[in-house]
Each structure stands twice: as structure tokens, then as C-alpha cells.
Chains A and B, each alone.
Chain A
Amino acid sequence: MSDNLVVRMYNIRFGDAILITVPDKNPSTGRTTTRRILIDVGNAPKVAGSGQGGSDEVFEGVVGDILDQLNGHPLDLYVVSHEHLDHVQGLFFASTKLPRLDLARRLRVRHVWLPASAAPDYYDKHPKAKEQRLAFEAMYRRVAALMAARPTAATRGFLDLLANNDPTKTRQCVEFLRTLSPEKTHYIHREASLRGKHPFREARLSVWAPEEDTSDYYGRFLPLDAGAVPLAPAGKPGARRIPRTPDPLPPQGVDAGAFLGLVRARRSGAIDNLLEIDKAANNTSIVFALEWRGWRLLFAGDAEIRSWKTMAREGVLKPVHFLKVSHHGSHNGTPADDVFEAILPAAPPDNRTREAVISTWEDTYPGIPHAPTNTRLAERATVHSTLDHRDDLFYEVTFAG
């Protein structure tokens, strides 16, 4: 048995699939058990004309390898960082589209962690968050209808982003993931007790985010050209069927070019609002640290600035030796200054190596990967990117015990 902790980063293109193998020594018996944590498994949903970051072809190899690694043993902990398809759709896809993997039989999961806000009764207990969630879903329907009605308004990257945030498909995946361990599916937030929610004896897990009340993670929308696509009633995702109003024509005496520019500008808030929707879900990410034999590894999901600021305010940030770079290396995923200094200080607290991994792919979402962020990370840690392993099934980062 290896005495190393191994983080296996799968090349799932634009998405996360991370398998952590941890030699976990029972302090009472001295016996070491190899335990495994799987985080996510998903990539950007494939939509018409989208880039290569959303290929479904990778799932068979990735999920097959995960099952091979388990080699008949149960998975000790499966962590769903947040409810976005590039994090949750892989296992559902394998279950429904790849029967030869025999997932139902071969994948047994002892504990499942889902973000607190994924609990079936969550929004009954948090009415403010529910109100915001409903507003966000309503806005999602409008943005989706607008982009469907006026394809020229959407660029490919934003269609990808829209698909990634599809609440109907995400819900379907999360429902499936709940079935992996119906009795031991736990809804996690920073203050939730972890007792009985994982099997580790030596390794220590601590959750840094999200907060239980997610209402703080929601931003504000820009007013969307209300007329372009009328608002469908809540709970009726049929906005696409609403007949759209024809584009208004320039009135007499009004400069036609300027008028059409104005009409376009009135719709451009859709992209801003879509990003707000995306951010809100990203900020519900489970961010957790794994401490083992002096190493501290941080898995940040897709947490963005609001979540990082909350973590800083709550005083949970600590220097780490390993960072799963948040949000695929976006500018918003790795805040600078105080947060960055807290997790990757300029003066390392010890002489251990520091590693940062970025699960990303080009030509998928606008602005990602983000070269200045990569440069900043490289000043503090050895940076590994999926793009350095584009022909490999995975790469590994190893921590000696």
C-alpha cells in the first residue's frame, strides 16, 4: 500500500472530476485504510456549435477509470461541489448513457455531500433565499427565451453558460446523485457538524463554505428589455413558446443605426444577468480542506469573490499546500490580496511544496483560462493545468506521508 496521498485530476476538459486517495491510519489500531474521495465529475454541457470543452466522449474513460481505481471497494465520500452541469452531469450521464460501465452495480458510495441549498426542504426553511432563487429561475427562463428567440444576441460561450445553468437538467442530475447513498446524503454548510458524515480517522476535513443561508450570494439583475421576451409565469418553463414581439422599427426622424444600437443595448443586460445567475450557484460551492500529515489541501469548487469574502470574514482561511483553483481559473475564482495572501502567502509557513491545479479548457467560456490569474498563481505555487495534459486521461499530484 502506498503511503502517499494522491490527487488524481481527470482530464474531463472543461469541468471537474477529482479522485483523492488517502492512506488513513486509525490512531487506535494503527491500521491504515486506503480511502477515496471523489469530487464532482462533470463538464460543460454540449450545445449546438459549442467548443471542445463540453465533449461527452470523455465520460466513459474517466468514469471507467474511477471504477477501476475503486476496484470493487465502496467510495468513501462523494462531494458535489455545487449544482452546475460541469460538476454534476458525469455520473448521471454514465448511468443513463453508458450501460456497459454498469455504474449502478460497481459504484457504491458510503457518504454523499451536497451543498446545503440542495436539500429538498432547504427553501421551505429559508424563505429569503427561496424568493431570490425563484427570481433567479424566472430570470433564467427569460434569458433562455431571449437567446432562443434572437440567436444573434448570444455568442457561443454564453449559450454554453446558459446550458450549464439549466435548473431542470441540474435538478435531474442532483436527484440521481441523491440516490447514490440515500441514507447518507448530507447537506453541507460551514457550520454543519461533520460527525458521522465521513469515515476518516486520521485525515481531518473542515468545511469553509458555503454559509447555510445562501441569500447573501445572490446579486442584482439589470432590467432586461421586458418586451423582447415576456416573463413566463413561475413554474412554467415554456417561455420559448411565447410568441415574440417583432423587432421595433426606427420611428420617423430617428437615426436608424442609433435606434437599432439602442434596441441591442436594451437586450445586452441578458448576459450580465446570466453571469449573476452563474455566480450565485458558484458561490454555493462546498469549499473544504483536507488536512493530512502536515499537508493542507483545499478544494474550492467554483467559489467566487462573494464566497471568498465571506470565508475571510468568518476567519476560516489558512495557508494551504494544494489548491484546486476555483472556477476553472477565472479572474473571479481567485481573489487577490488578503484572500490570496491568506491561502498562498508570499512567505510560505513551512518548506513544503505548494501546488495549484486548474481544471480548464480553452474556447469554452469567455475569459477562461485567464492568463493574468495563472501568472499570479505561478508566483506562489507550481501550477498544473488540464491544458498541459490534453492527451492524457489524468495527471496526479502526490503528497508524501
Chain B
Amino acid sequence: MKTAKIVLSLLLIIIAIALVGYTLSSQGDLRDLVMRLDPQNLSSADSRMLKARDRVLDGLAEGDRVRDLRNLDRYLEDYGPQLALDGENGLELFVYRNGPSLLAAGIALAVIGAALLVSQLDKLAKLRRPAIYLALAAVLYAGVYIVENIAGSSSMLMTVLKKGAIYALIAVSMNLLNGFTGLFSLGQAGFMLVGAYTYAIFTIATDSRAQVYQYYDGGLVQFALPTLVAIVLAGLVAAFFAFLIGLPVLRLKSDYLAIATLGFAEIIRAIFQYDGLGPITNGSNLLRKFTTFDTVLFPFAVAGVCIALIVMLIHSTYGRSFKAIRDDEVAAEAMGINLFRHKQMSFVISSFFAGVGGALLAMYQTTVQASAFKASMTYEILLIVVIGGMGSITGSVLASFLFVASSEWWLRFLDNELVIGGVQVPLLRSGFRMVVFSVVIMLMVLFYRRGIMGDKEFNLKRFLQPRVRKGGDVRG
């Protein structure tokens, strides 16, 4: 019986994937279809028809779905009978017209299938857990891919998802340090800056260097690295900086450490803006024209892999040592944990991922300037970590998306003046969004100190099967 259910659920998921895949591919193929419908057998002198076809193609190129459909309707209405619209072409047209509902149906099927699968979880639990996580990740990525194709790559939702993924990585890297090792460091913006600059410097296309480095004769670096290599390099350089800075700083205690790391971040910012380094860093000018990404899957993939690596680290012996240091330094040392070495490791690794996050942020922004990486950026990330819960990876990830979504999207309306019935709503004008936002954060810091997740992690099984309270219900 159970096997039947699992087979059924897998079948549903496969059908869903096929449906979604076919819908998406036929959306891309419409251009071909319209070209194929080109009336070759008719006289091409039929210029009105060609014009109508071009309108459809123009609409397609602009990605304006509504106008595109209207043009298509008119085209088919006028010339449909003369066109060779056979069964296969007809099906493609049908799929294109009903794209959104078909996608919705596909997603619904996938959700039903997944739910069915999950309800058989105890059977699946015998599989190795990584397999489950991989499957979940695949479903997540497929979902993001579908949503991106429906909503369009430049929509607000996608902007939030891109920035949210990047912030999630940076927040998790900071949480590794502050939440898991108990080192109150405020240098994250500095390491992000190092990562962002390293990435940007090494991926500017060779022929645009003269333009970017116009005040420095085209700059010193005259080659471009592949994107992924540059991202890893960004992390490595940030880690190297962290190694050097950590040597003196990590011997300091809590709030002195905070101030010293904050100070180092400021020093790094000053150095990168220094005119003498202009041939490399472009002084205080913008770096631009480097490789960027346009699909949301890229930051999701990079951030996903990095966060997975951090989670694995936390679950390792090293991770347990970090937690021991956080809980009680003296006891940890007595148990034979080398305090300095472990602190250094945590600091360097955290900075590596902050550097990678900085590189992604550079790609997201398409330009980099050192002056943006101020202490307030570190504060924002610290607040994300606190909102999510110190010592919870899932909390940090969740809080990043919430933070970015509310600051960029959901609270936008607070920045626009609003008139209801001839009366201007008071207070609403530019900047009010951030005031409301920071008041909410303050309230959380004061009254909800443990954050969304505390130091717990999100657990799928517990989420689906709420724990039954012992002793049963008391009924009156």
C-alpha cells in the first residue's frame, strides 16, 4: 500500500515536471512557431499580414505578455484560416495561451505529489538524509526557476530573492562567528568589500578596462578570470585579510574585539579608496563593467552551496568546538580545545564566505564603490542575525529574506504620499519606511530577544508531525 502511494507520488511529480517543462519550453518556442506559420505559400506581398506578424514578434521581444496575446489573437483571427495550423502547432499555441494556468496546475500537482511523498517520510527516512535534502533543494530550485519564468527576471519578487539569497549567505557567515563561536565581530562589511573588489577587479572585460580605469591609464590588471574562479578568489583574499587581522585582534575580549574589527573594516575601506592604489582599485571611483548574473538561480546556487558547507562545518568536530568556546571559554580550554586556533579558523572561514557574499553583492549591484561598505552595513547584517536568532542557520536565512523583502518591497508604500478622499495621509513620505522598519527591529531586539528561531533549526519532520503533548488533553 505504502509502495503504491510512493509510486503514485513520484508519478505525480514526474507529470508535474513534464508539464512545467513543456509549458516553459513552448513559451520560448513561440517565436519559431510564428515564423513557421509564416505564409510561404501565400504571396509575400501580403504586407498587412507580414506587418501583423511582426507586431506579434515585437510584442514577444518586449516580453509584454498581455499585448503579445492581443496581437496574436488578431493575427490568428484575420489570417488563421489561411495558415497551416496543424495539430502540433495548435497544441503549442494552446500551451502558450494558457501558460500561467498550466504552470499553476503543474505546481499544484508537484505539491500534491511532494505532500504524498512526505507523508510516507518514515519510509524515506531509511534513505540517507543527504538524499532528502538534495531532493528538497532540487524542488526549491525548480520552484524558483518556474517563478522566475512567470514573474520575469527583473520583477520585484526576483530582486528580493536575489538580494535575499546574498544577504542570507552573509548573515550565515556572520552567525558562524557571532552565534556559533561567540566572537562579537563587527568587521563583516570590510571583508565583503575585499571580496567585492577582488571579484570586480579580476572580471572586468579586458577591452573595457581602459574605460573603467580612465584616470589610471587602464589599470594594472590586464586579464579577466572566469566568474567562478574570481568568486573563489574573492573569498580567499578576504580570508587572507582575516588571517592577518585575526593575529592581533582575536586575543581581545568581547567588546574590544567588536571595536577592533569595526576599526579594521574602516581601515580596509580607507586603503581601498587610497589614490596610490588607483591602478588596482580605481581609487574612490566606481568599478563597473564586470561580469554579472541575470538569473536568480546563480546567487541561489552559490549561496546554497556555501551555506551547505557552513552547515557541514558546524556539524563537524570543529563546529562542536566552536560551540564549546561560545558556551564557556575556560571549560573549552580545559577540555583541550586550542582557543586561538579555533577562533582563528572560525574568523577566517566566516570572512571567506563574507568575501564570496561581497562578490555576489557586487554582481547584483553591477557596480562597486568602497564608500558603500560602511559600518552601517555590518549593523544591518548583525540585526538580521539577531532577528533570525543567534545560532540558527535557518533563522538567519529566513530573516534575510524577510529583511530584504520588507525593506525593499512590502514597506515601499510607506515612502509614497497617499491621498484618501482628498485628505493627505500624514507621515507618509520618503524615508518613513526605514523609520517604521527600524522601530520594528528595535521592538524585536527589546521584546523578542531570541529572534524568530532562537538557536533552534527548522526541522521538516517536526514541522509536519507536531509533537503530541504528553499526558493527553484535559477536557473539562
Q: Do A and B come from one complex?
A: no
What is the interface of chain A, defined by CB distance below 8 A to chain B? Answer: none
